[in-house]
């Protein structure tokens, strides 16, 4: 947790299970199975390596990325990439763990193809024949745990096994939705850990080779953006209009307003933002107004200074002048919000990401929307897929 905070944070959520039938250890992404006699022979530093390996399998979800490949070979390639990254980060390699320097800095897909090519070069028969003989490996770091295929057709009990399998189908189907929900929760938790440690500058070296989707994957940014906004749209009260029930008696009370979206939107109008990107920014502001009939949007345009400010309420057209074209400094927007806007909860900053960021974190949520990933001092980043 102190020397390798990312590995430690992820590993702390792993369930542990002793299993001395395996040679070393294995992780299915949720539970770590280990041979206690093997671990007893390791140093503390080597045990840390084992736990970090299990942690990375939680992040990788290698079972979901097989895509028709030979599973045990894909698992082997995964361990080569993970272990190369752990060694690169100064962790001590234990006995039997897969490691070769030539795989350092490569993606799992690349290592898999290299291993597959080596197998074909050293084999007298085709890879298709190899696949017929070798099935799923026990997901261990050692090749001795590989199991061989058993043909059901030659088994006199095959029909009984088939019937038993069919009987279990309904039970498996009923639990599949629960498993999917748990997987989504774990995926979200892993992404939150990643973003937190990334902001703190505590990510491991060569992480991009192990989980490249965390660095280059373009999510459905509109879905994420509006899902994020929805969490800030809540039932509130307003005097525009007031409660009409007691108005005739001269008593002014606020009326209840459901799904009020109160948000601050800042648009970067510096010279580095081209017309197409600016048009995308403005289009999303218009979409917010269409999706939420009850809103209060404080719109700020700025480059190196605040150029304009206007509050938009329901029914008002999105009309304003765009000015700017200078350099980019994000600090004036945050200073303006602190000085002139009461009780801010969410600031959405549409920008190309090039500029001077504030150093001190603010008390409200900040969502940076930009065309490519950049390091930000605080807040969440959404990458535009233009």
CATH number at 343 reads 3.40.50
User: 354, exposed or middle or buried, with CB in 10 Å at 0-12, 13-18, 19+?
Assistant: middle
Average pLDDT rounded to a whole number, residues 48-61: 82
Q: Both 299 and 244 in a single domain?
A: yes
263-304 tens-digit pLDDT: 899 999 998 888 888 888 888 888 777 777 778 899 999 999
pLDDT of residue 345: 87
Locate 348 and state its tokens: 């959405």
Among candidate residues 161, 188, 210, the one where a domain is terminated: 210
Please give the tally of structural domains in the chain: 2
CB-based contacts of 316, cutoff 8 Å, min separation 6: none
Q: Both 125 and 35 in a single domain?
A: yes
Q: Both 241 and 104 in a single domain?
A: no
The dihedrals phi and psi of 105, each to the nearest 5 degrees, come to: 80, 20
pLDDT of residue 283: 83
Containing 264, the helix (H) or strand (E) segment is: strand 254-268
Among candidate residues 182, 210, 238, the one where a domain is terminated: 210
Q: Both 81 and 183 in a single domain?
A: yes
Q: Both 196 and 302 in a single domain?
A: no
Give the least confident one: 128-142, 221-235, 360-374. 128-142
Among candidate residues 188, 210, 232, the one where a domain is terminated: 210
174-210 tens-digit pLDDT: 555 555 666 666 666 776 777 677 666 677 776 766 6
pLDDT of residue 336: 96
240-255 tens-digit pLDDT: 666 666 666 677 666 5
Q: What confidence tier does 334 reach under pLDDT thresholds 50, 70, 90?
A: very high
Q: Whole domain around residue 39: which residue ranges?
A: 5-210
pLDDT of residue 18: 93
Q: Both 340 and 244 in a single domain?
A: yes
Burial 38-58 (b: 16+ CB within 10 A, else e): beeebeeebbbbbbbbbbbbb
Q: Both 200 and 324 in a single domain?
A: no
Q: Both 133 and 54 in a single domain?
A: yes
Q: What is the DSSP letter of 292?
A: -
pLDDT of residue 95: 87
Q: Both 205 and 235 in a single domain?
A: no
Q: Both 65 and 122 in a single domain?
A: yes
- Give percent of the chain above pLDDT 90: 22
CB atoms within 10 A of CB 67: 7
Give the least confident one: 34-38, 153-157, 186-190, 247-251. 153-157
pLDDT of residue 187: 67
| Helices marked H in 138-294 | 158-199, 207-210, 213-216, 221-230, 275-291
d(CA 14, CA 37): 20
**Measuring CA to CA, which residue among 49, 61, 6, 55 is closest to residue 32?**
55
**Measuring CA to CA, which residue among 97, 100, 96, 95 is closest to residue 84?**
100
The pLDDT mean for the chain works out to: 75
Distances (CA, A) of 322 to 69, 281, 368: 53, 12, 20
**Is the predicted pLDDT of residue 168 greater than 80, yes or no?**
no
Q: Which of 174-188, 219-233, 361-375 reaches the highest mean pLDDT?
A: 361-375
Q: Both 275 and 181 in a single domain?
A: no
Q: Both 286 and 378 in a single domain?
A: yes
Check if the beta carbon of residue 326 is closer than 8 Å to that of residue 352: no
């Amino acid at each position: 947790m102190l020397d390798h905070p990312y590995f430690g944070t992820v590993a702390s959520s792993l369930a542990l299970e002793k299993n001395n039938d395996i040679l070393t250890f294995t992780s299915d992404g949720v539970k770590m199975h280990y041979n206690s006699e093997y671990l007893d022979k390791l140093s503390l530093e080597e045990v840390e390596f084992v736990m970090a390996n299990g942690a990375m399998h939680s992040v990788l979800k290698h079972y979901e990325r097989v895509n028709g490949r030979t599973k045990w070979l894909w698992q082997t390639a995964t361990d080569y990439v993970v272990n190369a990254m752990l060694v690169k980060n100064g962790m001590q390699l234990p006995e039997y763990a897969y490691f070769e320097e030539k795989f350092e800095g490569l993606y799992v897909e690349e290592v898999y193809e290299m291993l597959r090519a080596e197998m074909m070069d050293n084999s007298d028969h085709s890879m298709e024949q190899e696949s017929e003989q070798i099935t799923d490996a026990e997901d261990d770091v050692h090749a001795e745990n590989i199991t061989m295929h058993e043909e059901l057709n030659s088994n006199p009990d095959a029909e009984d096994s088939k019937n038993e399998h069919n009987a279990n189908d309904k039970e498996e189907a009923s639990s599949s939705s629960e498993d999917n929900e748990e997987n989504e929760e774990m995926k979200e938790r892993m992404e939150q850990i990643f973003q937190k440690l990334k902001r703190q500058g505590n990510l491991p070296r060569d992480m991009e080779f192990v989980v490249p989707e965390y660095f280059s994957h373009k999510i459905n940014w509109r879905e994420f953006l509006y899902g994020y906004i929805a969490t800030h749209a809540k039932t509130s009260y307003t005097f525009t209009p007031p409660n009409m029930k007691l108005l005739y008696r001269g008593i002014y009370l606020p009326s209840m307003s459901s799904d009020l979206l109160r948000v601050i939107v800042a648009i970067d109008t510096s010279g580095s933002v081209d017309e197409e990107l600016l048009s995308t920014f403005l289009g999303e502001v218009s979409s917010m107004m269409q999706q939420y009939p009850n809103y209060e949007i404080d719109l700020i345009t700025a480059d190196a200074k605040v150029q304009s400010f206007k509050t938009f309420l329901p029914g008002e057209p999105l009309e304003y002048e765009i000015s700017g074209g200078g350099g980019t400094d994000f600090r004036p927007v945050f200073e303006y919000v602190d000085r002139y806007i009461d009780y801010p909860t969410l600031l959405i900053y549409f920008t190309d990401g090039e500029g001077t960021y504030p150093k001190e974190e603010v008390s409200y949520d900040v969502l940076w929307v930009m065309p490519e990933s950049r390091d930000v001092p605080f807040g969440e980043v959404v990458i535009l897929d233009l």
